[in-house]
Structure 1
Amino acid sequence: MVGNFKMLAKTLYGFEPILAKELRNLGAGNVNEGVRNVTFEGDLGFLYKANLCLRTALKVLRPIKTFKVFTERDLYQNVYAIDWASYFDVDKTFAMDTTMSSEVFKNSMYVSQKGKDALVDKFRHQVQKRPNVNSQNADVRINIHLFDNTCTVSLDSSGDSLHQRGYRIATNIAPINEVLAAGLLLMTGWDGRTDFLDPMCGSGTFLIEAAMIACNIPANINRESYAFMQWKDYDAELHEKIVNASLNRTREFHHKIMGCDKAPSAERKAEENVENSQLSEYIDIERKDFFRSEKPVDGKLHMVFNPPYGERLPIDADEFYKKIGDTLKQNYPGTDAWMITSNLEALKSVGLKTSRKIKVFNGKLESRLVKYEMYSGSKKDRFAKEDG
């Protein structure tokens, strides 16, 4: 892996433009959006940087061979032809997974098994030993992507999904995925230039991701391992340089990030996670019922929250969402309030006009990220001030 090579970062539905922008800002070359993925080019150091810094990537893959497949034999022979011993040692465990949309094969597990057979046979031929498979905690992960007759074999440089940041040790009943949280924050335009509030903070994911964005802290700075560390060409010194250079680009944050939740257990979990993320100096958490709260600051407030949907947390959704609207209208002037929900029917009960509505997915739940602009005084007064 000398010089620049092609890579692919996987992401969530609708997050492709945000991920592409992240990659360009990091310095990637030839960035192209796909469906739930973005392809780009960079060198080995950039592969390390992508894993460390990307907020909206789930995986970073390094394609090593693309070929046409019409039969099982085509698959076996092409996977066998790869010089696997040049990528990792025989004493490393490996796992192979397949994503596919193809008429040639009907079963992704079967494709993975054929790929494993070819890899193991190649090692036996080259070094007279075979590596062991470990589907749960493999040292090396390999991805086969089959679309129609085109097959791409890639090394998975990330290992565990990049949403596993390493800071969350306590969760509530319905935690939001860290990559989803970061992407939603970026969609709302959060940049750390105002005060921030999550009034239903749960285990604190929005708060932590908001603080990392505000301070330009690498998303995965708390993560201890990546699959690329098991590759033969892993350069620990280069990796350390990338980490240090990324930390040197952090910035000061001069506003407040606040979270509250009425459940004592949620407050405790959020505090634990914030402490574990080493961001306690930026984040304040208190036990408070949003419906009995008022705007805690004088200036502009950026609010992002994930209210209960009624899917896993039992609530009277219509009444609950009506209270959200009433509280925002009465107690939160000068606030840009964003929330994500999959309860599209209850959303109507908020009783406020949305200024933005974006389709997203929370897991498999089709959801909406909506924005309510709560003006200081009436909207009419605001426009009169601007005209004057």
Structure 2
Amino acid sequence: MDRSKHNDIVRRASAMADKASFVADDFAQALFPKTEVIFNDRMRSNAQQYLRSVVEQIEKRICTIVTGDLGVSHDLLLGIAQRGNGQSFAMLEQSGLLKTSEIVRHLFVKTQQSELAARLLQKISQEDLESTLTRHLDHADPAVAKAAMGLLVAQSKTTGATGEIAASLADLSPEIAYAFAWPITAALVRRSGFSGPQLQQATERLLAAHDESAGVARKAERLAQLLDQSGGENISVPHPMRDGLTLFIARLARQSGLTSDQIVAFTAEPDMARLVVVMRAADFPVQEALSIFAALDGGDHILTGATYGETDRDRCQTLVTRWASPEAFQNAERLLSDDFPGSPGK
């Protein structure tokens, strides 16, 4: 065995020794998950792909600003700016800095949305899905046509190969962009050895210029709003095979008072129970609800007309109203509830 391989084994062994105490934690999490949500291999692969893409895009943008706008001459930073040969991902992945609750939640929603898109393509062609938006380009209201074009353009930037996920920085909220940008900056400082203030200044410029209004979610929300205001046939029940996935999510979120992220998350839960509650609260006709469920389901689950029809609508409306409350309020309410196992007297 040559010395380089020997040194590599020693390095890896030392690194594993530092992490050995976490092996049992990882195994316990796999054995005893806290929810019944299932994450398949495609979702795990897409999550890693998306995470790496976001880190590399932000890293490249920071280096472009620092070497271009701020005039820093540094070989490693210039190489990242010109060729995008990322340096930060491995360091951030190993450090755990990409495991913050904000980043992981964002990652879960994006991954689940990609999973839903893959499911839809098993039931409707890509051409037919695209036509769900292109038909709005001839809308009588120019504002609707313009919004539809904006959504089409935004979606084109995040469309990967079938079953894969693509990343666009415009789809990051300011909070998520912030959560990514500063750890990446710290990693760049460490990797490059460049300790001047320009890297931090570049990150500040990146965050100041960040515009999520160009992202898919905001474009879909705008189109959903205009379609509702325009009236006519567009007031029909939202449906992923009539609206396309992104517009369907935006319309349902708008109609229910929930966020698009919540709607996506509900589709990952067992039997999509909370999605069914949302549809029942909105009084979707039985056949529409069953069709939506079938379009989004990734397994052999079946929602029957009897089950849907017998679900109490008043209770569903109460639940949806509660879920629409600020998350901090919901969390506090659970902790203060007499029914919560950790409450005093329990």
TM-score (ref. length: structure 1): 0.28
More strand by share: 1
Structure with the bigger RCO (C-alpha within 8 Å, sep 6+) is 2
